[in-house]
Amino acid sequence: MKDQFRLEYDLAFLTSPAAAGRLSGTKDARKVADYLLAELDSLGFDSAFQPVTVPAARLTSTPRLIAGTQAFSPRRDFAELTAFSAGGRVTGQLLVVREDDLLRPEDFNGRVILLPERPQGFNLAETVKTAVEMGVAALLVEHGEPEWFHKTVYTGNGRIPVLRVKKSVAEKLSNMNDANVELELPLQHGTLPCNNVLGFLHGASDDFTLALTAHYDHLGDDPGGVRFLGAFDNASGVVTVLSVARELAKEKMPFNLLVAFLTGEESGLWGAKQLIANPPAPLSAVINLDGIGSESKLNALRLGHRQRGDPLAELGEEILSKHGIQGQWVGGSDDSSAFISKGIPTLGLGQQPTGQARSVMHTPLDTRESLYIETIRDGVEVLVEIVKTVDPKGLRRSLGSQIQLKEKNHVHTK
Ligand SMILES: [Zn+2]
């Protein structure tokens, strides 16, 4: 009973104004890391920070977009495309470009280009590259009609400012050809010193280590703007893993347990990559939690694994179905994919957000109020059961036969 209140307290703290959306490299993320470290410590885990250098894109102040006399609002009307965009300040004349327009390459030089429609087979990376080559000052690309533009913190080597603009804004702008545009995008690309939070619990045997992982970073604040609290993504996964750690710390496990709260997921899985490169013990298997509690019942869980037939994945599916939970095999690009790509048996658990839940992802609407705490509690229960059912011997044996099988196939195909 007491632990249930702990879970609510953890969730309230991780989604509180004090945590401010846990953006990697901020003092707010550090506050959360300190909290998680102290919790693991008090549970008897050997706990420590693991430094991680996180490449990321950051807004340093509020972006501005003004065309003629009309000012548009960041995140609502337009947003930065961090993976393709440089920061900078641009003034130039608007040039509206449609698919069949006949324009000479020199027409683009120094202009702010608006693409009010995406042609079929539109390739953003190629378009940006061509725009840079033609001397375009900045690029605005129509991008649907969301209530909020999703925030990303991916870095890249963009050369000019590149913005997504709302369809209705693009329509407005497309009647303003030749208008003077002022654009200020205070976007910085760089690396930030961050930390994974690790807790290690020795088991009866030292030759198998199961890692329970969840990223604690999210997207933070827009300077002078809205806050991204990241309740579903991924405060929910962190409190799930922490609650499971509380349950399991009371028992002597037959194998080592590593709890890892990872940083830098949002800008490219950097915490996971660092843990893979420098694990406190070789990682025998991983269970990663990313996003749980978006629906009122835990009736389906996403199993982010590349293929069935992995003994850990099979075990997970078996236990889910015992609880009447359907496992959906959906490949993801969360931390679990970093472990999978290194051949580590990995179960990636989370709810596949659908409908309304999907549209709140990476927006200011991903708040504590949008979560179902009962569903998270059910997730804790199921995860405890999965961990307790892991049989290192059986897992190793069937992994061994899988590897043998792979080798055989390999020889065969040669
Ligand atoms: Zn995310």
- Report CA(367)–ligand 1 centroid distance (Å): 13
- Report CA(252)–ligand 1 centroid distance (Å): 34
- Report CA(63)–ligand 1 centroid distance (Å): 22
Note whether 90 and 235 are same-domain residues.
no
- Report CA(233)–ligand 1 centroid distance (Å): 5
Q: Does residue 410 form part of some domain?
A: no
| Residue whose tokens read 């027409």 | 107
pLDDT at 196 over 60: yes
User: Ranked by mean pLDDT, which of 102-111, 125-134, 353-362 comes out on top?
Assistant: 125-134
Note whether 71 and 13 are same-domain residues.
no
Q: Which amino acid is at 171?
A: E
Q: Does residue 353 form part of some domain?
A: yes
Q: Does residue 409 form part of some domain?
A: no
Note whether 136 and 201 are same-domain residues.
no
- Report CA(373)–ligand 1 centroid distance (Å): 19
**CATH number of the domain where residue 197 is located:** 3.40.630.10
Q: What is the pLDDT of residue 107?
A: 92
Q: Does residue 52 form part of some domain?
A: yes
- Determine contact, residues 199/46, Cβ cutoff 8 Å: yes
- Report CA(266)–ligand 1 centroid distance (Å): 5
- Report CA(236)–ligand 1 centroid distance (Å): 12
Q: Does residue 414 form part of some domain?
A: no
Q: Does residue 411 form part of some domain?
A: no
Note whether 176 and 197 are same-domain residues.
no
Kindly report, residue by residue over 350-379, the tens digit of the pLDDT.
Answer: 887 777 667 788 999 999 999 999 999 999
- Report CA(151)–ligand 1 centroid distance (Å): 9
- Report CA(83)–ligand 1 centroid distance (Å): 15
**C-alpha dist (Å) from residue 336 to 272, 300, 308:** 8, 18, 15
Point out the domain boundary residue: 142, 161, 185. 185
Note whether 301 and 398 are same-domain residues.
yes
Point out the domain boundary residue: 135, 152, 185. 185
Structural domain span for residue 166: 63-185
- Report CA(361)–ligand 1 centroid distance (Å): 7
Note whether 79 and 169 are same-domain residues.
yes
| Residue whose tokens read 């390999």 | 410
- Report CA(242)–ligand 1 centroid distance (Å): 19
- Report CA(88)–ligand 1 centroid distance (Å): 26
- Report CA(164)–ligand 1 centroid distance (Å): 19
- Report CA(114)–ligand 1 centroid distance (Å): 28
Note whether 221 and 319 are same-domain residues.
yes
Lowest mean pLDDT among 78-87, 116-125, 301-310: 301-310
pLDDT band at 412 (very low <50, low <70, confident <90, very high): very low
Check residue 233 and report its DSSP letter. I
pLDDT at 344 over 60: yes
The predicted model scores a pTM of 0.91
Point out the domain boundary residue: 185, 204, 239. 185
- Report CA(292)–ligand 1 centroid distance (Å): 12
**H/E stretch holding 113:** strand 112-115
Q: What is the pLDDT of residue 2?
A: 58
pLDDT band at 408 (very low <50, low <70, confident <90, very high): very low
- Report CA(267)–ligand 1 centroid distance (Å): 9
186: its two tokens: 């205070």
Kindly report, residue by residue over 211-246, the tens digit of the pLDDT.
Answer: 999 999 999 999 988 999 999 999 999 999 999 999
Q: Does residue 34 form part of some domain?
A: yes
Lowest mean pLDDT among 30-39, 162-171, 305-314: 305-314
- Report CA(409)–ligand 1 centroid distance (Å): 37
- Report CA(99)–ligand 1 centroid distance (Å): 33
Q: What is the pLDDT of residue 200?
A: 97
Kindly report, residue by residue over 71-89, the tens digit of the pLDDT.
Answer: 999 999 999 999 999 999 9
Mean pLDDT of 160-187: 97
Note whether 234 and 119 are same-domain residues.
no
- Determine contact, residues 335/275, Cβ cutoff 8 Å: no
Q: What is the pLDDT of residue 405?
A: 44
- Report CA(13)–ligand 1 centroid distance (Å): 18
Q: Does residue 319 form part of some domain?
A: yes
- Report CA(181)–ligand 1 centroid distance (Å): 32
CB atoms closer than 10 angstroms to residue 122:
13
Note whether 371 and 275 are same-domain residues.
yes
Note whether 304 and 327 are same-domain residues.
yes
- Report CA(229)–ligand 1 centroid distance (Å): 11
pLDDT at 209 over 70: yes
Lowest mean pLDDT among 7-11, 71-75, 290-294: 290-294
Q: What is the pLDDT of residue 320?
A: 87
Note whether 208 and 322 are same-domain residues.
yes
Q: What is the pLDDT of residue 309?
A: 67
**CATH number of the domain where residue 83 is located:** 3.50.30.30
| Residue whose tokens read 């059961």 | 385
Note whether 297 and 322 are same-domain residues.
yes
Strand partners, 114: 96, 140
Residue 262 or residue 306, greater confidence: 262
How many structural domains comprise the chain? Answer: 2
DSSP for 155-208 reads -----S-EEEE-HHHHHHHHT-TT-EEEEEE-EEEEEEEEEEEEEEE--S-SS-
